[in-house]
Amino acid sequence: MRAFALRRGTASADVIGRILCHDAAGLRKGHAIRSEDVARLLQHDGEIHLLELDEDDLGQRAAGERLANALRVHGLLALPIGHRHVLRATEDGLLDVDSGALQRLNSIDGVMVFTPASGEVIAAGDVVAHAQITRLAIARSRIEEAERLAAERPVLRVRPFVPRDAILWRRDARIVAGVEARLRRHGCRLRHSLRLPTEATAIRESIETFLDSGASLFLICGSNALDPLDPVFTALEQLGATMRCSGIPVHPGTLLWLATLRDVTIVGFPPCGLRGEVSAFDLVLPRLLVEDASFEDVAALGHGGLLARARVHRFAEEEVASDAVR
């Protein structure tokens, strides 16, 4: 590509197809000069800077479109927005960003891709990436390199949620609205909310009642995670449940625990952080709802697990309203 300047009154048919480097004569930078633009350029007061592309160059828009399409995978839609392209999610889910693959792309001079943090909860329609070229034109070989890298190692993935029906056992009824709002946000349904018994036998019998109900997410709020003889853990041991983790690397909510029983995931959590603040429960829940959920996903939460106290979620109007009347 070659840049050159035109003085006032020197525009001619030779400039057709060249790229305007700045706003001039009512035309925006990046505009490809057309025959009808020449008369306007002749009247422009000042110097005009233009860019002439070679056969091996791509303009900003065409290159950005190819870059966005290279990033697009199932569940993403590439769209032009001004001088850049964006990728939007077509379904709700959990965003995975391969930071290494992203860094490789951004190491190509002139290529720029930026995303939310990996692990963000994404709703259909949310923008999950911006893709753009930082110049008005770029060598075709650089875009081809970006396409090759994106094909070898995809940068983005949206893991769709698989909604579950849930049963809640609790000692404090005030948490129900907060739990239900969080479940609803991810397409889940709270089928029953029950008072958590104080005796192991009663807890075991209550859990057994719902094992064949079709609900695959059991939530227990009110156990003492630091007491191995807590009646909840005694009941789970009697039922043959497998404890997956006792505590997770997130604050607030470090004492959250996970277990499995048959095809049911059991989440035990403290009541703190369920009425406004983001807590461990908010991070764990969406990870338990994606197609290929694993307990390694939970173990990885330590990176970013120190949650800012000022960070607030408003999950549903019902939750806010219910807090207001208490």
Average pLDDT over residues 250-254: 87
Average pLDDT of the residues of the chain: 89
Q: How confident is the model at residue 316 (pLDDT cuts 50, 70, 90)?
A: very low
Q: What is the dihedral of CA 271, 314, 280, 322, to 10 degrees?
A: 10
Residue 146, token pair as written in the block: 């970006």
Q: Is the dihedral of CA 70, 142, 18, 45 positive or negative?
A: positive
- In this structure, the number of other CB atoms found within 10 A of the CB of residue 96 comes to 17
pLDDT at 8: 75
Cα–Cα distances (Å) from 51 to 15, 19, 313, in that order, read: 9, 5, 48
pLDDT tens by residue, 188-203: 999 999 999 999 999 9
64-68, 115-119, 293-297, range with the lowest pLDDT: 293-297
Q: How confident is the model at residue 46 (pLDDT cuts 50, 70, 90)?
A: confident
Of 198, 194, 204, 206, nearest in space to 237 by CA: 204
pLDDT at 124: 95
Average pLDDT over residues 227-235: 96
pLDDT at 183: 95
Q: How far, in Å, CA of 174 to CA of 176, rounded?
A: 6
Whether the per-residue pLDDT at 179 is higher than 70: the answer is yes
pLDDT at 18: 85
Whether the per-residue pLDDT at 263 is higher than 60: the answer is yes
5-14, 70-79, 88-97, 269-278, range with the lowest pLDDT: 269-278
pLDDT at 312: 43
Stated pTM of the model: 0.81
* 307, 278 contact by CB (below 8 A): yes
